[in-house]
Copies of this chain bind each other. A is one copy, B any other.
Amino acid sequence: MPLDRIDKAILSSLQSDCSQTNLQLAQQVGLSPPACLKRVKRLKAQGYIQKEVALLVPEKFGPYLHMVVEVEMERDNKAMNQRFLQRALASPEVKQCYQVTGEVDFVLICMVPDMPSYEAFCDRVLYAEANLKKFRTLISLKREKFDTRINTG
């Protein structure tokens, strides 16, 4: 059950703007509203769409910083690393986490209102972890791009 041209057009459109009505979407992809709606429902049921969210404008909510944090673990201890991961993923400051190969084990993208908040996060999550060898923080004052869209093939 591969996606046809129209399914891809629907997904492509929805990941740019899901606030449009099914009427508009149907017209865009050249289907009748019911046919379009049926496809959207099917795509959701089949798990292509994780969820629909509003992206807010961070500047409107006061000052903030992004931190790119490279985390290096002491040993490749699965259990210990899982424990750290759990803590990190549960932290509201951590917006993204990538497991990477090489020297570095994880890259975190954190968002905090200021430096003290980041230091508190480090104390709570990073310094508290015995198996954490070291970490490096890259401070970002400006996010130049943030695009949640992916290639639909």
Residues of A in contact with B (beta carbons under 8 Å apart): 11, 14-19, 46-58, 60-62, 64, 66, 68, 70, 85, 88-89, 92, 94-102, 104, 106-107, 109, 111, 113, 138-153
Tell me the nearest residue of chain B to A85, going by C-beta. B144
Contact B50 A53 (CB under 8 A): no
Contact A141 B99 (CB under 8 A): yes
The answer for the CA separation of A44 and B97 in the assembled complex, in Å, is 29
B47, B56, B113, B141: which contacts A50 (Cβ < 8 A)?
Answer: B56
Q: How far is the CB of A36 from chain B (nearest CB, A)?
A: 14
Tell me the nearest residue of chain B to A152, going by C-beta. B61
Tell me the nearest residue of chain B to A91, going by C-beta. B145
Contact A60 B89 (CB under 8 A): no
A sample of 19 cross-chain residue pairs with beta-carbon separation below 8 angstroms, ordered by A number, consists of A15-B53, A15-B56, A16-B53, A17-B53, A18-B19, A19-B51, A50-B57, A53-B55, A61-B150, A61-B151, A68-B68, A95-B146, A96-B146, A98-B140, A98-B142, A99-B140, A99-B141, A99-B143, A100-B138
Contacts A19-B18, A48-B60: A145 and B54 contacting too (C-beta < 8 A)? no
- Residues of the B chain whose Cβ atoms lie less than 8 Å from the Cβ of A17: 51-53
Tell me the nearest residue of chain B to A112, going by C-beta. B151
Contact A144 B111 (CB under 8 A): no
Q: How far is the CB of A121 from chain B (nearest CB, A)?
A: 13
Contact B100 A140 (CB under 8 A): yes
Tell me the nearest residue of chain B to A46, going by C-beta. B60
